Structure 1
Amino acid sequence: MAANDLVKKAKRGNEKAFAELMQGEKHKLYRMAYLYVKNEDDALDVVQETIYKAYISIKKLKEPDYFSTWLTRILIHTALDFIKKNKLTVPFSEMEEFFPTRGDRLIDERLDLAEAIEQLEERYKTVIILRYFNDLSIKQIADCLNCPEGTVKTNLHRAINKLKLDIREAYIQ
């Protein structure tokens, strides 16, 4: 069954359709939540809260084509709320599983990049995660964040420049 049909059924209250939709999205949701909270249990909590919020508000979803974007937006807000509520500051050293390991130097470079991403302002970190970890297009990111594509491009450009500068400074020292 097509995702749009499942979304329409879920909007009408079909719990099985909603569960099937979540089954298709759960791995993506978990990966994104983990990128924000850096802890398996906390990521699972964020995903669970996201699914709950989506379940109680799916009837408000206007366009079935944007279900995945809508769900991603819920997850981002839930993760940011979780971080604020728990005042999380988590080291990126736990992120090795997201980066291939081919020698100590590559690991160090990847960890430097991960640490630099962690230091970015939330708006910059979010566009980097959505673009390069979730492989979303500029348009999808704009839809997800409910902002113009130009803003996404600007934030992405600024984030990349900040990362380049931070990493360059780390290697000069």
Structure 2
Amino acid sequence: MNNKFEKLLIRFITEDKENVYRLAFSYVKNAENALDIVQDSIHKALSSSEALKSEGSIKSWFYRIVVNTSIDFLRKQKRIQLVDDKTLELHSTTGEDVYHDMDLEKALEELPPNFRTVIVLRYFEDLKIEEIAEVMDENINTVKTRLYQGLRKLRVKMSKEILEGVK
């Protein structure tokens, strides 16, 4: 690895560690798993630094690694079912969810990964459309379309939940 890129990468990760952690956490919703994803992402970035084309694209390059690592982690977790459904029902609480702010988080989780990723990167990580396109390795127009479609799906989902809550 080029020593200059290694120092630049280490400086970036050190300065932006909260945002990187928050991005990983937005996928897995678990502190330990998010830390594991960040650690794996750092390892992948250090071992594949030759893929970094320029110093200016380090943020989007590293964010892409974090997003892909998070998605890979979630795919692996879907294959593992630690508890059967009956056991889960027995141990779960039966009361209604009293936290109304959780509706947005729940609705976001129900979106397909491509839509959720665009929305999280745009509104929670405050990336520009061009940066999101770079992170996702997609065309800018594709990112815009996914953003608007994702927001529309989110709006529909949220309004349905509000209407169901009124009944």
- TM-score normalised by structure 1 residue count: 0.79
Q: Which residue of 1 aligns with 2:3?
A: 13
Higher gyration radius (CA): 2
Q: Which residue of 2 aligns with 1:172?
A: 163
Q: Cα deviations across residues 60-113 of structure 1 (Å, max 9, x unaligned)?
A: 211110000000000000000011111289xxxxxxxxxxxxxxx9x51x3111
1:16-31 aligned within 5 A? 16-31=7-22
Tell me: CA distance 1:157–1:16, structure 2 relative to 1, closer, same or farther (3 Å): closer
1:143-154 aligned within 5 A? 143-154=134-145
Residue 79 of structure 1 pairs with residue 70 of structure 2: yes
Q: Which residue of 2 aligns with 1:141?
A: 132
Q: Which residue of 2 aligns with 1:44?
A: 35
Q: Cα deviations across residues 120-144 of structure 1 (Å, max 9, x unaligned)?
A: 0000000010001000111110111
- TM-score normalised by structure 2 residue count: 0.82
- SS for the counterpart of 2:3 is coil
> Which protein, 1 or 2, shows the higher relative CO under an 8 Å CA cutoff with sep ≥ 6?
2
1:117-136 aligned within 5 A? 117-136=108-127
Structure 1 segments, 4+ long, off by >6 Å, are none
CA RMSD of aligned residues (A): 2.0
Identical residues among aligned pairs (%): 36
Where structure 2 has 5 or more consecutive residues not aligned to the other structure, the ranges are: 82-97
CA distance in structure 2 between the partners assigned to 1:83 and 1:13 by the alignment: 33
Name the aligned partner's letter for residue 45 of structure 2: A
